[in-house]
Amino acid sequence: MSKTFDIVLERLTSGSGLPLDTGVGMQNASAELHAGLLGASRGTFFLETFGCQMNDHDSEKVAGVLLSRGYRQVESPESASLILYNTCSIREKAAQKVFSRLGEFGLHQNDGRIIGVLGCVAQQEGEEIFKRAPWVSLVCGSASYSKLPELLAQVEAGNQRVTGLDNDTDETFETPVTRRDNPWRAYLTIIEGCDKACSYCVVPYTRGPERSRASDSILREVRQLAELGYSEVQLLGQTVNSYKDPTARQMRFSDLLLAVADAPGIRRVRFTTSHPRDFTQDIVDAIDAQPKLCNHVHLPVQSGSTRVLQAMQRTYSREEYLEKIAMIRGAKRSISITTDIIVGFPGEAEEDLEETLSLLDAVRYDGVFAFKYSPRPHTPSLKMRDTIPEEEKSRRLAVLQEKQREIQTVKHSSLVGETFELLVGGKSRRENQWSGHTSCHRVINFASQEQALLGKYVQVSVTGGTPTGLVGEQTL
């Protein structure tokens, strides 16, 4: 399916303040799309997103579909005729959030508003959601977003119980329109679902089996994004480096990275999340060969103990993981490494935690996302005994975070005096204060007398660091 009109639409509707682009691809838009654009207004929608970057990007697709149907986006649920929650179920707290949001609407059940639950909780709970919150009329998992126009038509026609819950379709990449939130950096999902079977993780259940998007379709969209002024693309997937090109071209993931970087106008290419088992030398070689590939790898380890890794079914040992780290450290340019860690997995002993702490010393990560283990439905670890009390999980999390804080304090102070190229993405309310990302994915807040810096690349020299961030000033 051609997506040439997607980005024109997002420029028309994003309110980004950029000039309207009436050129590229508009002639390809369907009559239905025009009808939507030309204001056959159906009402207003409010869309709240929970969870990861893949969910953020899914919401961009959902917003695109709604805007093309003539809906207008509003900032609060109170002023919306259609209220949608794009949900996350990776940890229990995240899943609970949506039920507390839904509870807020129980009081207004008959006021005519349509309420929908999208994403992982929708997929996980399915029609149960109608029982828990009878005022919900749409339940739709991420693989069914391309069907949203039909599902919405059913809801608009008065159907009170509409579901889209297939989760093994490869139509998942192709929603008719996408409305991106950020005018300079574009997310692009290249692989959906997950075929790994980590014992704690609900993703294979909620997002279904692995499906990779055709390389020619990815590259076509990247070229269109570049033509519209996007200079950074971030390729997304739960295990992005497990990408398998379904076309006869059979591009390797590393070849795809290089091809994306070759698109004229693209200055930076990121990818997340990489699975250690599929992280291979050719990816490091590609980063070495092409400076546009960002020097950052997010490589979740989950635990430093081989015993726990086995119980987690992570498919690698501590030693094998450290070999991958050595491979990355062996690159010609310095590549920053971040990770995810779970503490308090069933059966994790004090010695296992010690091993995770010693892994932090061995790798010296640039950033760590640490989580307390949360038992999830439909996962093998739900049946494991030896559960660890909540207070003990909190203690372990605090110990781990303190250790990483010390490592970052040293790392950040060693960066003072260094100069980085930043893509400026934020402007502070404070006069002359901006923020941006380095290629290695560090955020630097910096001072500059210049005005219109958003979306520009600037050189910034680091003048100070805290455990959590860096400050600097623009160099001329």
Q: Which residues bind ligand SAM (CB under 6 A)?
A: 52, 90-91, 200-201, 203, 238-239, 273, 275, 300, 302, 340, 342, 371, 373-374, 376
Least CB distance from residue 366 to ligand SAM, whole Å?
16
Q: Tokens 């039920």 sit at which residue?
A: 99
Quick one: 243 or 420, whose CB is closer to ligand SF4?
A: 243
Give the amino acid at 389. P
383 or 430: CB nearest ligand SF4: 383
Q: Find the part of the chain contacting ligand SF4 (CB under 6 A) among 5-13, 199-207, 218-226, 431-439.
A: 199-207
Q: How far is CA 155 from CA 120, 164, 177, in A?
A: 20, 12, 20
Least separation in angstroms between CB 371 and ligand SAM? 4
Q: How far is the CB of 182 from ligand SF4 (least distance, A)?
A: 24
Whichever of 231 and 404 has its CB closer to ligand SAM, that residue is 404
Give the one residue of 122, 194, 335, 343 binding ligand SF4; rule: CB under 6 A: 194
* Binds ligand SF4 by CB under 6 A, chosen from 8, 203, 236, 299: 203
> Other C-beta atoms within 10 Å of 334: how many?
9
The total number of residues shown for the chain amounts to 476
- Site size for ligand SF4 (CB under 6 A): 9
239 binds ligand SF4 (CB under 6 A): yes
| Least separation in angstroms between CB 178 and ligand SAM | 21
Give 397 or 462: the residue with its C-beta nearer to ligand SAM.
397
Task: Kindly indicate which of the ranges 92-100, 117-125, 197-205, 316-324 contains the residues binding ligand SF4, using the contact rule CB under 6 A.
Answer: 197-205
- Is residue 196 at the binding interface for ligand SF4, with CB under 6 A as the rule? yes
Partner touching 204 among ligand SAM, ligand SF4, none, CB below 5 to 8 Å by kind: ligand SF4
**DSSP 8-state class, residue 441:** -
Residue 194 beta carbon to ligand SF4: minimum distance, rounded to whole angstroms: 3
C-alpha span between 145 and 189 (Å, rounded): 13
**Chain centroid to CA 445:** 23
Give the CA distances from residue 255 to residues 57, 240, 282, 285, in Å, rounded to whole numbers and listed in that order: 24, 13, 9, 10
Q: Could you check whether the bond before residue 273 is cis, i.e. omega within 30 degrees of 0? A: yes
Min dist CB 228 to ligand SF4, Å, is 31
Nearest alpha-carbon partner for 44 in 13, 64, 74: 74
Please report, for residues 58, 218, 378, 437, the alpha-carbon distance to residue 55 in angstroms, rounded to integers and kept in the order given.
Answer: 5, 19, 20, 21
371 binds, among ligand SAM, ligand SF4, none (CB under 5 to 8 A by kind): ligand SAM
The least distance separating ligand SF4 from the CB of residue 201, rounded to whole angstroms, comes to 3
Instruction: Give backbone dihedrals phi and psi of 114, rounded to 5 degrees, phi first.
Output: -100, 130
- Per CB under 6 A, which region of 3-11, 15-23, 198-206, 437-445 contacts ligand SF4? 198-206
Query: Residue 204 interacts with ligand SF4 (CB under 6 A)?
Result: yes
Q: Is the dihedral of CA 167, 169, 170, 173 positive or negative?
A: negative
- Cβ at position 238, least distance to ligand SF4 in Å: 4
CA distance linking residue 455 with residue 70, whole number of Å: 29
Q: Which is nearer to ligand SAM, 254 or 274 (CB)?
A: 274
Which one of 180, 275, 412, 437 is in contact with ligand SF4 (CB under 6 A)?
Answer: 275
**86 is in the binding site of which of ligand SAM, ligand SF4, none (Cβ under 5 to 8 A by kind)?**
none
User: Mind giving me the DSSP string for 198-245?
Assistant: -TT--HHHHH-S-EEPPHHHHHHHHHHHHHTT--EEEEE-TTGGG---
- Measured CA to CA in angstroms, residue 264 lies from 20, 200, 224, 425, 450 at distances of 21, 42, 10, 21, 27
Q: What is the spatial distance between Cα 19 and Cα 304, in angstroms, rounded to a whole number?
A: 50
Interface ranges with ligand SF4 (CB under 6 A): 194, 196, 198, 201, 203-204, 238-239, 275
